[in-house]
Structure 1
């Protein structure tokens, strides 16, 4: 934090705010959608980030004021920032900005800034921090209160904090809008591809071509098996086991290699030369149409690309070796990848636990087949359009990379003082920090003292010489002893006042108070206590 702008000051988060963990939230108290206070969980934070730009104003669980008192949880005020403190969610580094005060469960931690610190400024700063880096555990990542309190923040004057926060709100909303708009483009391009295939296999794509060639739409329903020189599945069971795989040798085409119109090279599996010889009848050739037997969200079909490597197929990876005099293998692939094909096959396997077809079904499946000349023209036009789409996708991906760099870049500028011009008339941050420290010092609880009768000197109260009751007494232990004192006092009162009348030691007093609150004899309202009507 060297070379800070004029008026800025390095300070720890613990010096300018309160870090507080959530509380245990018993299962029997969960599930209510009504109540005064929301109880924020990690899932609520995640949803706020995904749907509401990080603004936390709703939750899946609510509690009444009475239940909140029973839970003795901290009420996080509006403007506090919540985040996960344990588990895999910690690594996601999501932050929720509270719009409606509420509690948090014990998987959540929160930061509440002191008066004079801009809440939105703190929220944006915390978005720059990788809390997972502070985790000490390698098994289950987690952070502690002290980890957050010790983080150093470059703090500008209060007025500059507000200006920076407002500018960040403005800019980052624009970035998020841009992300959403460009993020929709890949889906549009996917639809364009599918529309192209629909037009191709229905004859629409080559309608003008046929008119120029003075040809009619004379396509014939043809089974896949009738246009293949060979169609086969991969070896099953003991013929090819995982123990047969090696680090090099002939390639094995598995289901994960067969994508929608793409052969995925990411995962490579090999078998040795001896095993390859045993399975030589499953040898694949460049241009073979590969079809996945499993049909889920789309048809997975592609062609085997040219390669110097040898390949065989595994079970459920069908190979169609198309007779090039009868059909263009690429046209067959596109026909099988079309939406109409998907819908027909999906309907055929409807209700199956694992939707799949067998080789016999695929060989009997019929497609509309034009002349070989029109097939070639269709393939040419599809590949021309798909090449154009690929160029657009590359540009979109490059733009997405640049856009994703905008938010961290803007945040870096914001917290180095480079986002906005400074106003040197602003009160320096060091004075704000000093006021916060002074206010905290004034609010520290005072020690209990009494005046000595002999000398008039003020000395700390020594409870052992003044307290006559003990918690083990029969009228105290297991009895609503403190509630009876509250009845005599006649109204809500503070713990200090009740302590003075109870005549118990401090240790016994708080043990008895905790027990009577738990039993329902006393209602704890945070700053005051009240006798209940419980029997």
Structure 2
């Protein structure tokens, strides 16, 4: 791909600068508890990823030392591909990764890594395979062209990118911490809401009983403040095409878990036939999952059906608000999960829910609690939205900085101030000629076949 660049720069293929050595296809039976760690793609992208080890005979070319430049050429776009400088101990190179061998006296390693990564979109677009798993061929990688300045300018560019991209990463790391902080904030808001602390000033009563709840609150079973009913999906098989149509929303456990509070749409719908073997719950019903995902909750914003893995709770108008009961279930989720037997698919029953003994304030105070929680959650949602937008901009910023670097914009003034370092014997053209001459002078070693030693 031709890119805009300074006139003193050249455009050259990656293959003209280096040699590529692929890793070894280790078999699971070759893995061991000790020996050299085997570098797989996940070990390049995730420093906490577990290593397999190899304790047998290994060719020197597949032995990796600290500082070696590697390129992951297979995997999922966006997560797997890329050039990396190995920072670990001596290791064995797995397949799907190239070791890149080049003259470090003539090419700056950091610059080469950045230059390769700046072409990732082009490389991935030409990769073989489907959407999930793709491969960049050796020929495609070698033929891909990069911008190539003088050696001194390579080092200046790498220095600038080291500084700028470190700042980008630091900003990204700080932003990525905020959603976790907001999650803890929401949890603390709910804990304060169902313990009476959130409305203590509003209540004008700071008296608490021995269990830590306001003295004015009373403990009640769910069956006293409303009605619990399991969803229905009696027909078998459950995937009978006659069950489905476009009339009645059909909600399942995953949609409850991912609803972020309220369910306002559906991806599947029952037909009239489907409705006959189910039950339509009205908007405002509290959905509680009792199988697979235990005690996930959401309020129906639409009339909907759901299977028996979901329970619908309809509060008595004079006793409770659905949202307040939701908060109580959310805070006690871990306790409810403990009631589920240790089976392949965890589940609890209506008896467990009906016998829950939970603290309830007056309906007026429940209304105030829901109002305050909604207000605080809306504030947290606004912050999270702003953070997500900022993260998108920061993620784009890294590519923007790389693009500027490889258009020569980061070093424009430096070139004006140092013309002698980019011309004559110091020029990119002279440098590339030296690289070609050095590579031509290296005679490949004759391959020898390994033989089994016999007595």
Q: TM-score range by the shorter chain?
A: 0.7 to 0.9
Residue 226 (structure 2) pairs with residue 234 (structure 1): no
Residue 333 (structure 2) pairs with residue 334 (structure 1): no
Equivalenced residue count is 434
Unmatched segments (≥5 aa) in structure 2 = 209-213
Give the structure 1 partner of residue 419 of structure 2: 424
- The correspondence for 1:518, drawn from 447, 451, 455, is 451
Partners of 1:106 and 1:204 lie apart in 2 by 58
Partners of 2:443 and 2:134 lie apart in 1 by 34
- SS of residue matched to 1:184: helix
- The correspondence for 1:123, drawn from 83, 90, 113, is 113
- SS of residue matched to 1:518: coil
- SS of residue matched to 2:107: coil
- SS of residue matched to 1:256: helix
Partners of 2:78 and 2:388 lie apart in 1 by 28
The 3 A distance-change label for structure 1 pair 24 and 396 is: closer
Q: Is the Cα contact below 8 Å between 1:90 and 1:142 reproduced in 2?
A: no
Unmatched segments (≥5 aa) in structure 1 = 52-57, 446-493, 496-509, 521-533
- The correspondence for 2:286, drawn from 274, 286, 289, is 289
Residue 81 (structure 2) pairs with residue 93 (structure 1): yes
The 5 Å alignment of 1:34-433 reads: 34=35, 39-48=38-47, 60-61=52-53, 67-68=57-58, 71=59, 73-76=61-64, 79-88=67-76, 92-99=80-87, 102-114=91-103, 115-128=105-118, 129-130=120-121, 131-138=123-130, 141-211=134-204, 217-228=215-226, 230-238=227-235, 241-243=238-240, 244-259=242-257, 262-264=261-263, 267-276=266-275, 278-279=276-277, 282-294=279-291, 296=293, 299-305=295-301, 307=302, 310-338=303-331, 341-349=332-340, 351-420=342-411, 421=413, 422=415, 423-426=418-421, 427-433=426-432
- SS of residue matched to 1:242: coil
Partners of 1:127 and 1:85 lie apart in 2 by 12
- Displacement, 1:355? 2.4
- Displacement, 1:182? 1.2
Q: Is the Cα contact below 8 Å between 1:223 and 1:366 reproduced in 2?
A: yes
- SS of residue matched to 1:180: helix
Partners of 2:169 and 2:30 lie apart in 1 by 36
The 5 Å alignment of 1:405-484 reads: 405-420=396-411, 421=413, 422=415, 423-426=418-421, 427-444=426-443
Which fold has the larger relative contact order, with Cα–Cα distance below 8 Å and residues 6 or more apart in sequence? 2
Partners of 1:3 and 1:132 lie apart in 2 by 21
Partners of 1:214 and 1:345 lie apart in 2 by 28
Give the structure 2 partner of residue 449 of structure 1: none
Q: Is the Cα contact below 8 Å between 1:23 and 1:73 reproduced in 2?
A: no
- Displacement, 1:366? 1.8
**TM norm structure 1:** 0.74
Q: Is the Cα contact below 8 Å between 1:224 and 1:366 reproduced in 2?
A: yes
List per-residue Cα deviations over 1:282-335 (Å, max 9, x = no partner).
221121111111365x73112111x4xx42222211111111111122211111
The 3 A distance-change label for structure 1 pair 90 and 295 is: closer
Give the structure 1 partner of residue 8 of structure 2: 7
- SS of residue matched to 1:396: helix
The 3 A distance-change label for structure 1 pair 226 and 59 is: closer
The 3 A distance-change label for structure 1 pair 385 and 90 is: closer
Q: Is the Cα contact below 8 Å between 2:35 and 2:54 reproduced in 1?
A: yes
Partners of 1:295 and 1:314 lie apart in 2 by 13
- Displacement, 1:3? 4.2
- Displacement, 1:118? 0.6
Partners of 2:8 and 2:265 lie apart in 1 by 53
The 3 A distance-change label for structure 1 pair 97 and 265 is: farther
RMSD: 3.0
Larger Rg computed on CA atoms: 1
The 3 A distance-change label for structure 1 pair 295 and 401 is: same
- SS of residue matched to 1:258: helix
